Amino acid sequence: MNRTSLGISILSLLAVAVLYILYFTGNEKEVPEEVKKPVKENNGLNIAFVKADSVILNYDLAQDLHDEFTRKQEAYTNEYATKRSSFEKDAAAFQEKLNRGGFLTEQRAIQERDRLVTREQEIMQLDQDLSTRLAEIQNANNNRLLDSLISYLNTLNKSRQYDYVLNGGQILIGDEASNITAEVLQAMNERYHKEIEGN
């Protein structure tokens, strides 16, 4: 169930390592002069950045979605564990009965074995179905959080008229005056709580 999270973590770690290497091993002489100029001086662009990972981490909606996801994950895990445990008890009882010759006929033993094999396949399918459902929920949650952030930034940009709002997670060096993360987070949390109170 955690393969996706592990994959994302590994990719993020690799990306940071590559950026670290590029930044500290870069040759100053090879950097074109126009790249060295601050962004604001280039054509008078109005640029801001938001540390999206920080916003998502501290956004109350994200915490609520995480809590809901965790409850569903626990319920799914318990459902699977209960069925798996019941199957394992029945399989052990079957093996014990088979070992002591408790079946009247070989045909009856084969029927019971086939029934257990079918149950095991159903349990394996359940595990796959539950994992798929959890991945779908996680994906829907991520899309909802991203949509909420983009929606707020679009609203904010009507008055601020930024040329670009960048993801600060990719910015190694930048003017902190352009960092609107705290403002965005506070406004998004206020908006979210108003929505909750309105329902």
- 49: buried, middle or exposed (CB in 10 Å: 19+, 13-18, 0-12)? buried
Backbone angles phi, psi at 165, to 5 degrees: -120, 115
Let me know: does 196 contact 61? Beta carbons within 8 Å: no
Lowest-pLDDT range of 1-5, 38-42, 151-155, 192-196: 38-42
| pLDDT higher than 50, residue 30 | no
Quick one: which of 27, 41, 5 has its CA closest to 142? Answer: 5
Let me know: does 61 contact 142? Beta carbons within 8 Å: no
Let me know: does 69 contact 137? Beta carbons within 8 Å: yes
Show the tokens assigned to 53.
């990972």
In angstroms, how far is CA 150 from the centroid of its own chain? 17
The model's pLDDT over 97-128, given as tens digits with 9 standing for 90+, comes to 888 888 888 999 999 999 999 999 999 999 99
Average pLDDT, rounded, for the chain: 81
For residue 196, name the pLDDT band (cuts at 50, 70, 90): confident
Quick one: which of 192, 151, 162 has its CA closest to 58? Answer: 192
Backbone angles phi, psi at 45, to 5 degrees: -70, 145
Domains and CATH numbers, the chain: 3-198 (3.30.910.20)
The model's pLDDT over 47-100, given as tens digits with 9 standing for 90+, comes to 999 999 999 899 999 999 999 999 999 999 999 999 999 999 999 999 998 888
- 87: buried, middle or exposed (CB in 10 Å: 19+, 13-18, 0-12)? middle
